[in-house]
Amino acid sequence: MIEENRRAERLKVRIGDRNYQKLIRIDNPELHQFIARYVELCNPDRVFICADSQEEIQYIREEAIRTGEEIKLAIEGHTAHFDGYHDQARDKEHTKFLLPEGVDLGSDINAMERMGGLKEIHTILKDSMAGHQLYVRFYCLGPVKSDFSLLAVQLTDSSYVAHSEDLLYRPGYEEFVRVGNSARFLKFVHSAGALDSRKTSIQIDKRRVYIDLEDEVVYSVNTQYGGNSIGLKKLAMRPAINRASREGWLTEHMFIMGVHGPQGRITYFAGAYPSLCGKTSTSMLPGERIVGDDIAYLRKKDEVIRAVNPEKGIFGIIQGVNSRDDPILWRVLNSPGEVIFSNVLVTEEKGVYWIGKDGDVPRRGFNHAGRWELGMRDAKGNEISPSHPNARFTVDMKGLENLDSELDNPDGVVIQGIIYGGRDSDTKVPVEESFDWVHGVITMGAALESETTAATLGKEGVRSINPMSNLDFLSIPIGRYIENHLRFGTGLKNPARIFSVNYFLRDSAGKFLNGKNDKAVWLKWMERRAHNELKAIKTPTGLIPRYEDLKALFGAVLTKGYAEEDYIKQFTVRIKENLAKIERVKRFYTTKVADTPPVLFSTLEAQKQRLIELQAKYGDLVSPFKLG
């Protein structure tokens, strides 16, 4: 206690009276001690306690320009940020959980011994902020004054990170003041470390992202890339998943969107898709409403599932965004207003270009490699693209014309459908509904599988299983995670229906069988099914649409015809491929997961037997018309 009091006195001297007065408005000694400890350890030149006034937030925006972490662009409010050439993605190798002795999260989860990890990260953090300003930020993950929401404090010496989080998260200072000593909050410590002349992190060999679940602290050092440094994003998912598991709710890698139905009805869906499987394009479909594009907190309330978006902004991949396919985002990214572009090409006229943008590729400019010219190659002889494939944009969702009015509802929205989408060239039909909650959790969520693409991930067609599209962020064993989902569906008056979608089915010649806009029709079918307004055809793997219903929806939604031939190609049951998938899923859960719930194997076995029985009757390929 004596040392804590001394530390508090030293903190008052270090941060000055004005900052200290803002801090002590929050009646929480644990918070004060946390801040004092890392001020002493990281040793910044200055400390700025932000109480979320407009003047303070504007100060941080201006600091990002003054320090060179961001540069002004030609369009008012737009800025650009560059991460280091070798700091362009999440560092999976050095992102680790710090676990007490005897705790094991499973072989797929990167972890190390807690005390050793804390000693290492504190050694690296020592004096890491010397010469920098430390920004102390307070945020609310979710709507304020909501049972769903988590409070969080971010310590960072990057004005870019602080600025980004202002666009992505709700201000939390007044919530900390209101809750006071009873606050349970997540903690984040980030230092960009030593910087080069471009203000990018240079000690990449000492880049570390460590998650201490016991104290709910995330450490990030010697990195600026948002996925490693914007602590409240995917890094916050780890302790949130752990807390949710203990308390009986879910933290999911899901969008939340409202789909319009008849007579002005809006039905809310949550959807989980691995990368490059259509998650963003689905959540941003023109004519529908978006609540969130990436993360969802789900709770059972009054015998239904409700969800909130812990974010209020988007940190999105910008590659491929164009005026034809992404009209809403395009307008935001090309209009005055606050936008941070990271790792795009900045032209000499202070415009920006990214891979897939409308128009010709500029011949020169500045990007993550420095001064750039068309055809430029790196030291290994690889051509440097104008923007990095993982280049990003950061915007507040208030700029989106399709933003749903329920974003800040403290009670969340009622979820009536959950969608799992993967990239599958030869097995799953474009849209399908599960028989019930358990069948959906097992065969569509836990069995979620996706194929790699040659363009971005190396060898094409490599299939990987990614339970609920959340494998990279799990902080609990996979078996317990699945068990939590199964348990979550019990006691619900009207459980959300569970669907799977697949936009990437191909024919034998490699041609896609889905049109790019067909997802709008699949969504409308799911919306009608959520209200039990359309019948469905039972197959061994789930419930699929009837031809006459899809024909009517294609006409109403896309104003085009829908041929029986296309329906048969898309919704034929592919017996051999489905049986092979079951074996892949069983192998994953037998070899990689120690605590798989037995119901997973029994559910898969029952599906296997249904497929074998249908195969004996009709062969390997079964037209939906034989089942309807």
- Residue 71 CA: distances (Å) to CA of 4, 63, 347: 41, 11, 12
Per-residue tokens: 384: 């440097």
Residue 130: how many other CB atoms lie within 10 Å: 13
Task: List all residues 6 or more positions away from 628 whose beta carbon is below 8 Å from its beta carbon.
Answer: 537, 546, 547
Residue 140 annotated as catalytic: no
H runs (alpha helix) in 377-518: 437-440, 454-457, 478-488
Q: Which helix (H) or strand (E) is 61 found in, with range?
A: helix 54-66
| Catalytic, out of 42, 50, 140, 277 | 277
Task: Give the Cα separation of 231 and 328 in Å (integer).
Answer: 27
10 Å CB burial of residue 386 (0-12, 13-18, 19+) is buried
Q: In angstroms, how far is CA 215 from the centroid of its own chain?
A: 23
Spatial CA neighbour of 526 closest among 545, 554, 542: 545
**For residues 232, 236, 237 and 239, what is the CA-based torsion angle, rounded to 10 degrees?**
-160
* Cβ contact 229:132 at 8 Å: no
Task: Give the Cα separation of 180 and 384 in Å (integer).
Answer: 50
Task: Give the Cα separation of 45 and 339 in Å (integer).
Answer: 29
Spatial CA neighbour of 476 closest among 152, 211, 229: 211
- Active-site positions read 277
